[in-house]
Amino acid sequence: MKVIAHDPGLPAGASPPSGVSMVGLDDLVSQSDFITLHLPLVPETKGLFGKDRLLKMKKSAYLINAARGGVVDEAGLYEVLKGGHLAGAALDVFEKEPCGPSPLFELDNVIASPHVGASTSEAQQKVAIELAEVFVDFLKNGKVRNPVNRL
C-alpha cells in the first residue's frame, strides 16, 4: 500500500514516518482511495471537507472521519454520496453530538457508529490501571511514560 499524508502542522525539516510520503492537501484528495481524518476541529478545519473538496475525490474513494464532527460538512457529504460521486463514508463523529436522525443514515454506502471506543467498562478499567502505574512509576523513578509534550 502506498501511504500519503498531509500535515500542515509538521515542522519544517521534520521527517515523516517511515513509508509515508507527504503531499499537499489537493494532491492527497485527488490521489487517495481511502482518506482518514485525524485532526482537531478549529476554525481552520471547520468544513474542511465540504462538497467542493469531496467532489475532487475519486468516485471510487472512501472517506473515514474519526476526528471531529464539523470537519466534514454532512449536507455536502450527503449530496456527494447520494449523487454517486463518492463510493462511501464511515463516520463516528458528527456535526451535532450526540447525533440525532440524519439523512446520511438512509444511505447504503455510509457506516456510522458512536465515538465511544474507549467507553466500555473493560477500556475504562485498563485506563485506570495504566494511570495508577504511570503515577507509581513517576513517584518511584521520576519517569513520565508517554508524555504529550516532550520538552
Query: How long a stretch of residues is the chain?
Result: 151
Amino acid at 65: N
Q: Is the peptide bond before 98 cis (omega within 30 degrees of 0)?
A: yes
Buried-exposed string 107-119: b where 16+ CB fall within 10 A, e elsewhere: beebeeeebeeee
Backbone angles phi, psi at 134, to 5 degrees: -65, -45
List the catalytic residues. Answer: 68, 97, 115
